[in-house]
Amino acid sequence: MPATPQFRWPSLGREAGCELWIKHENHTPTGSFKMRGGLVYLDWLRREHPEVTGVITATRGNHGQSIAFAAGQLGLKAVIVVPHGNSREKNEAMRSLGAEVIEHGQTFHDADHHAEQLSAERSLFRVSAFNPLLVAGVGTYGLELFSAVPDLDAVYIAIGWGSGACGLAAARNALGLKTKIIGVVSAQAPSYARSIEQGKIVEIPPQTRIGDGVAVAYPHPGAFELVRDQIERIVEVDDEAIEAAMRTYFRCTHNVAEGAGAAALAAVLQEREAVNGKKVAAILTGGNVDTEVYARVLSERSVN
C-alpha cells in the first residue's frame, strides 16, 4: 500500500491554537491504520507456516478488515468474530473482502474468547488483536509521519488494545526523537487510564456510544507495560467531545472520521492551553463509521 499523507490544516490549527498536523490513516485501502498490521502479520505467516490455510480473529471492525484484506491477497480463508450489535457497515466490508463473519457475545472480549474456542474446533490459525508483528506493521505510519515532520513536540494517539501507540513509540525511538506521545482514551472506556494510575490491569466495562475502536474493558497484558513506559500521559475525552471532533474534521477538512479516529483531535482541542504555540500531530486512525451514526453526529450542534 502507498504511504498515507500527513497534512497541516490551517483551519484545524486555528481551532487548536497550534501548528497541527493530521496523519490520515483514514486514507488506507481499508480506511484504517490496522491494515498495515494485517499485511505484515500474514506475510510472516505465509512464509513461516505455509501449511496454514485459514485464520481466525476477533474485532470491532478495523483489525478484522485488515486480516480479511491480507488473507484475500494470500489465498487464505479468514473467519472474523464480532460482538452482536457491531457496526453493520464494518461487518459488510469484511464480508466483501471474502471473510466469514460470526457474531457472538456482547463485547469485543466475548468475541475474542469465542475466536479462541473456534480456532481449535475448526483448525484455524489464531490471530490475536495484539502481537509484535501487528505492532511492527502499524508502526510504519509512525515512520512515515516522523520522516516527514521530524520536529514534532507531541503526537496524540487513541488507545484501544495499544498497537497504534506501541508502533508509534517504536518508530520514534528508532529515529532517536524526543517527541512526546500522548495516549487518548474514552472517558466512557477508561480502563487503560485507571490501569496506568494504579500500576496494574483494571477491568472496567466500556460504556462509550461512539468510540467502538477504543471500547476495551481492560488493557492487553502484552501492551500494557509498553504503553505505560513509552507514553507521556493519557488524556480522557468523553463521547460529546469525540462527536464534536468528528464534526470539526468534516467542517475543516471534509474528511470522515469514526469515533476512535477522532479521539486524538478531541484531546488536542481539549488541551488547547497545553499545545498553544507548539508543533503537534494527531493520528486520524480510521474513517469507518456507519452512515446513520455519522448522519446523527453531523446533525447535532457542536460543543466547540
pLDDT band at 302 (very low <50, low <70, confident <90, very high): low
Do 97 and 160 share a domain, yes or no? no
Q: Is the pLDDT of residue 303 over 60?
A: no
Hey, which residues does 32 pair with through a beta bridge?
Answer: 286
Give the residue from 126, 143, 171 where a domain finishes.
126
Do 115 and 153 share a domain, yes or no? no
Do 161 and 237 share a domain, yes or no? yes
For the stretch 199-244, pLDDT in tens is 999 999 999 999 988 989 999 888 999 999 999 999 999 999 999 9
Alpha-carbon distance of 171 to 205, in angstroms, equals 31
Report, as an integer, the average pLDDT of 79-92: 94
Give the model's pLDDT for residue 161: 87
Q: Does 304 reside within a domain? A: no
Are the beta carbons of 246 and 262 closer than 8 angstroms? yes
Do 25 and 58 share a domain, yes or no? no
Report, as an integer, the average pLDDT of 92-107: 96
Are the beta carbons of 187 and 240 closer than 8 angstroms? no
Residue bearing cell 485488515: 66
Give the residue from 81, 100, 126 where a domain finishes.
126
Give the model's pLDDT for residue 301: 75
Q: Which CATH number is 205's domain given?
A: 3.40.50.1100
Q: What percent of the chain has pLDDT over 90?
A: 93
Mean pLDDT, the chain, as a whole number?
A: 95
Q: Does 241 reside within a domain? A: yes
For the stretch 241-290, pLDDT in tens is 999 999 999 999 999 999 999 999 999 999 999 999 999 999 999 999 99
Are the beta carbons of 180 and 154 closer than 8 angstroms? yes
pLDDT band at 79 (very low <50, low <70, confident <90, very high): very high
Domain extent, residue 137, equals 6-32+132-299
Give the residue from 84, 108, 126 where a domain finishes.
126
Say how many residues make up the chain.
304
Do 168 and 55 share a domain, yes or no? no
Q: Does 111 reside within a domain? A: yes
Cα angle for residues 15, 31, 215 (degrees, 5° grid): 75
3-class DSSP string for 236-272: EECHHHHHHHHHHHHHHHCCCCCHHHHHHHHHHHHCH
Q: Does 209 reside within a domain? A: yes
Q: Does 103 reside within a domain? A: yes
Give the model's pLDDT for residue 162: 92
> For the chain, how many structural domains are there in total?
2
Do 146 and 259 share a domain, yes or no? yes
CA distance readout (Å), 219 to 44, 151, 195? 25, 30, 8
Give the model's pLDDT for residue 243: 98
Do 142 and 272 share a domain, yes or no? yes
Do 222 and 158 share a domain, yes or no? yes
Alpha-carbon distance of 226 to 217, in angstroms, equals 18
- What are residue 23's phi and psi, to 5 degrees? -90, 115
Q: Is the pLDDT of residue 16 over 80?
A: yes
Closest CA to 69 of 104, 46, 38, 112: 38
Q: What is the DSSP letter of 77?
A: E
Q: Does 1 reside within a domain? A: no
Q: Is the pLDDT of residue 172 over 90?
A: yes
Do 114 and 70 share a domain, yes or no? yes
Do 265 and 118 share a domain, yes or no? no
Q: Is the pLDDT of residue 146 over 60?
A: yes
Full-model pTM: 0.94
Are the beta carbons of 238 and 262 closer than 8 angstroms? no
Q: Does 107 reside within a domain? A: yes
Do 91 and 53 share a domain, yes or no? yes
Q: What percent of the chain has pLDDT over 70?
A: 99
Q: Does 51 reside within a domain? A: yes
Do 210 and 121 share a domain, yes or no? no
pLDDT band at 304 (very low <50, low <70, confident <90, very high): very low
